[in-house]
Structure 1
């Protein structure tokens, strides 16, 4: 399963990624996307995502 957070691209991404829609979870909040994951890939320069507190969801 792949979690995705993109408030601006959700509408277009939904139809562009139609072929893999059963493998996607569209998240509404930036921390929701990193909760209970093994890895995170950030592909943006948005200031909102530059200083995420990954320790907030550290399970160790």
Structure 2
């Protein structure tokens, strides 16, 4: 669906696996942001920072 199936090597064999990714989708169903090949360490903070930034922009735009 979002191109997350990728060839990988597992135990010396090539297989199809999923690329670790995060997608932010708005309430209209539109893709707003994608994070590809994410590293678990720090990723939650990265996503949260993005969401806070977007929320702050929306609040300021409403004023």
Assess same fold via TM > 0.5.
no
Give 1 or 2: higher strand fraction.
2
Q: TM-score, normalised on structure 2?
A: 0.24
Tell which structure's C-alpha radius of gyration is larger.
Answer: 2
Q: TM-score, normalised on structure 1?
A: 0.25
